[in-house]
Each structure stands twice: as C-alpha cells, then as structure tokens.
Structure 1
Amino acid sequence: MSAGASLTVAEALTIPPLDQGSVLAGHRGLTREVLWVDIMHAPAEDFVRPGDFVLTTGTDVRQPGVREFLTFLMSSPAAGVALGGPPDIDTRDLLATLVPLADTHEFPLVMLPWEVPFADIQRQLLPLLNAAPVDALIQMVIGRREDHDPRWAEHTETFAHTLAQLAHTYGITTRTSITEDLVMIHLSAPLPASVGSELVESARRPSGLPDGLASWVLLPPEHNGSVTVAPVPDGPIGPQQFAEVLRQHPRSMATILKTLQPLVDYDKTRRGQLVHTLEILLNEAVNTSAAARALFLNRHSLLYRIKLIEDLTGLSLKNPADRFQLEVSVRVHQINEARSDH
C-alpha cells in the first residue's frame, strides 16, 4: 500500500504487529477508514476524532472513567479500538458491556497482547495514512546523523555548500549550523516541499553523504501573514537549542507539544511523575540503573513507568530518532514551564 492511500481497519489488522490482535466484536465495522492511530487513556472523550484508531491500556474498570470512556467509544465516529491492558486485569465484566455495544454500533473492538508495543503499531501504520502535501511550504532543512562516519563534518559542510548554491538559483540564501549530530539549514524564503526534497537529494549526491547516514526533516515556515525567520544558533546545537528553534515554528511545535501532552495529562489525572521520570531517564542517558537510583525506585517500578511512557507517547526509548524527539519535547516543556513561572 502506498503512503497516503485509504486504509481500512481490516487492512490495518493485517500489518504487524497489529496482526496479533483478535477482533472480539464489531466485525461489520471493519470497513471503517483509519485516518489516524492515537494512544488514549480515560478520560479522553473530548480528544476522539472521526477515523481515529484508538490504542489503550486502560482496561481496569476500577480506575475512574475507564468504563465510561470505552463505552463512549463504541458509539463514536472513531475507526476502532484495540485494548492492550495488563494480563492480571480481569476484563470479563468490561467485555460483557462492550461486546454487545460494539456489535450494535458496528464498531471494531480488538484485543491485543500486553507485550505488543503501541509505538511499533504507530510506526508501521502512520506512514500509510499521511503523505505530506507536495505543495506544502518548507523553510528549514534539518539532517540528523543516524550512524557513525568519521567524515561527517566534511560531508555535511560540502552538502550545505552545495545546497546553498542550488538554493541561490531560486533567489534564496541560506544559514547553516553543523554539529557532531545535526546539520541545520535555514532558507531566507519558503519553498515548496517537493522543491526542498529535490534540493536535498541533489546536494546529497555530490557531497558524498552516504545513504542512511542522516535522516531529513523539512520544517514549515511560520504563517501569520508574514514569514518570521527563526535564528539559527551560531554555537553547538543540543536539544535545548534545537527546542528554542522549534518554538518559533508553530506547526512543528504542535507536534512536539503533542508528544509530551499524554504524559502531562496522565500526571495531572493520576498524580503521576512520568514527565519527571522521563527527564531523569534522559539525563542519565537512559541508563535504567542510574535512573532508578536517582528516582529512588526499584528496577521493576521504573520499567513499568518506561512502558507507560512509551505507550502514551507512541515512541520507543530504544529508537535513536524517537529518543531525540522525546528529549527535544522535554526541553521545550522545561522552557515553557520556566517561562510560565515568571
């Protein structure tokens, strides 16, 4: 299936690891179109959108709002729901309520093994749902190193110089900053995303930048009637500086803020400490032993929190790209919290 093509629930259930799920009810609704895959936990009625395929670990009806939220889903315009709760939770009473409702409303109700990571489901399905519009405008090119290469600095300097020359043919100048992990190139004016992709590929080949060495992100400009040029830091760029740049791109910020919002919501409603746990984990380079000591937790409790963090965000701390997104999100959150205190 090509990116951006229509995807039904039935088709989604053939794609690993969602193919490990069992359809308990609502079989007549398997033709519903999946528009998004989201991880939600009660209460979240206000966040359900048409076409959402909902993933949730919330199956314990003793927890406030769980039964009400899942009952609400059965008659909602969402695409379906997959339950992946802990194996020690007795779901018989819950399913006795949900199964007839799912059949009545033709709403797909799926049961997943607890071991299936929600992040893997999102990673497999989301690329099939949302292809970026070819006419979208971009104004920043960011490449993040994905592998070791002793010639990274040489390759990226050549790449940036070549891209600057190519951009000049469009009457556009560039500003570049390169670190051991990132190359950030800001364009003086926006370009269509299709042109930006062509520039990146045209500059990559002669620069000697190997395939797979860097992953590329094209960021949109700020749209408020005029284009605001976000400054590119002159010094080394870490997650904190990267976060400051992203704060000036509202559409990018929406993605970043959405990353951490499930943890913030969980902490507020459950009096949890998932955001703080993530901060400590990242500060300790995801060393679970060091993080457990810093948090005064035993290893089992920390691993449980890590699973919650990964399920709620849809990102894996084992994946370098996901880990970087989480770190930038944490830094943005810290900046916003610090400024809201003043």
Structure 2
Amino acid sequence: MDKSSQYQDFELLTEIATAYYLEEVTQDEISKKFGISRIKVGRLLRKAKEEGIVEINVRYHPIFSTQLEKQMLERFPISRALIALDHPDDDEQRSQVASLVSSYLASNLKDNMVVTVGQGRNVAAIAEYNTIIPPRDCRFICGIGGTHRPGDVINADHISRLLAKKFGGSSETLYAPAYVENPEMKNFLLSNSTIKETLDRARKADIALVGIGDMNENSYMVKLGWFTPQEINDASLNQGVIGDIAGYDFFNIQGKHVNTVMDNRVIGLNIDELRNIPCVIAIASESTKAISIIGALQTGAIDIIATSARNIRTVLSMKQ
C-alpha cells in the first residue's frame, strides 16, 4: 500500500470513529452516510482501535471501587483493599498502584514508626512515585538482604533509602546477602550480632511493604540466579506453587507454605514473621498475578492488598 492510500484509509477510520464515539452517530447512520454495509462499519471501528486511532479507557467511580473493596473484605481476612484504575502499560499500572500506597502511608505514618521494606518492582514503585508528602520521623528497615546487582533499583536497601528520603525519615541497611548457597551459611550469618539486631528490629515493625510474585520463568528470582527456569516450572507443575511473598516464601492456592530449593537460603523475614507485624501491605500490580493474590491473601499474613481493579475482579470471580 502506498503512502497516499494509507493516509486515505487512516482518514476514513478517523472520520468514522469520530462520528461514532464523539458525535454519537449510530452505526446504521454511518452506513448510510458513507455508502458501506453495517457489517463493514463494525469492522472499521475495530480496526480504528487496533491502529490506535481509538483508545477506550474505563474510569471507575469511587463507589465502584468501594463496592469491590467491600466484597474483598467479606471474603478475605484483610482490613483494606487499595484498588487502582486499570492501565494496559505495566509500568503505568505499577505507578497507579504505587500512588494509592503512597497516599495511604502519607495519611497513616506517624513519627517514630518503623517500616519493614521488601524488594521488587512493585515496592520500588512506591519509593519512586513522585508526590509531596509531609515529613515523618520514621525508620525504614530492610526486611531482606541485598543482591549483587550494582545500581539495581529493586534492591531492598536502595528502596529503603529512597523511602527514607521521600518521607523525611531514616534508613537501616541489613548487612547480609539476600541469598546464600546453603543453610549452614545462613545460620552462620544470622549469628552475627549486627545482622541479628537489624532483623529483630524489622520483625517489630509497625508496617511492612512486600511484593507478591507469580511463578514466571522471567521472574526477578531467575534473573538473580536463585532459581533456574526449570526449577520454577517444577515448583509450579509438580509442587503446586502459585506464588511468593517478599520474593522467596512460596505458597499454594490454599496459602500453605511449600518447601522448595529456596528454603533456608534467604536472609529475610518469612511469612510467619510477617504475620506478627500489625500492618502488612502487599503490592501486586501486574495482571498475571490474580491467582497468586488469592493464595497470598489466604496465608493470613496480609492486612492490606494493593492492586488493580482487573485483578480484584478476577479474584472475586474465582473466589466464590
């Protein structure tokens, strides 16, 4: 197709889309006006969406979100559901969810509070979300060790420092690797007084920020070398693992812990320890994580879920 023909096609698509979506002309009226069949009008309107000429965004009224949250509170042992508008772009979706968590923290953080910080893109998005927040004299503590990826913005220590800067508080590093080769090495490191004291303070936090992961071959854990794609598939297909909390504590659809090759190799807070923190906020923005969210909610460790309306609708349709 030459440029002239392509331009004419786009011009027709734009004219028809404008008539239908903006001027509220019916498809029958468009059919008569342009001398084409009613069926072809429908095809051209679909093509206008495929070509990006038409973008449809559904804006949820606050009452709609309130109703979804009410249903979530009736079905799961949580105190809040922070529900963001749907967006097709993953980065923008994370930002939408992060804005709700940032607003919640801005309203609920008090001086002298302690916040345990996890790792991952969804937790990092909260620290990176740009907004004006009244300063709080609070403390952000790493709830998991560090990873050997220089400049990695989804490392817990990096996130903790950004949150401290954002809220005007202070940050405490966990001076240990997140992952070690064997349980003996983990026990050795946990005997170090500096590491032990930091984890003790993290366990006594008022709030925890953690991500929910799904069993994905392209996951953060595979990129770090903690899991091979084959081990991810084995855990999913043969052990019934559907997700993780905080990047390594794995569970099935009933929210029960499942033993994996990761057990006793990660230095950080586990689900049992998170249960003792008064307010655990779990963040999962991606549309692939609905099933993982169900399992995570049934662990009993989560107090607030932050995700998209799409995920919430899927969770509610599956959890009858």
Task: Give the shorter-chain TM-score range.
Answer: under 0.3
Larger radius of gyration: 2
Q: Give the TM-score, by structure 2 length.
A: 0.27
Q: Which has the higher contact order (CA 8 A, sep 6+)?
A: 2
**Normalised TM-score (structure 1):** 0.26
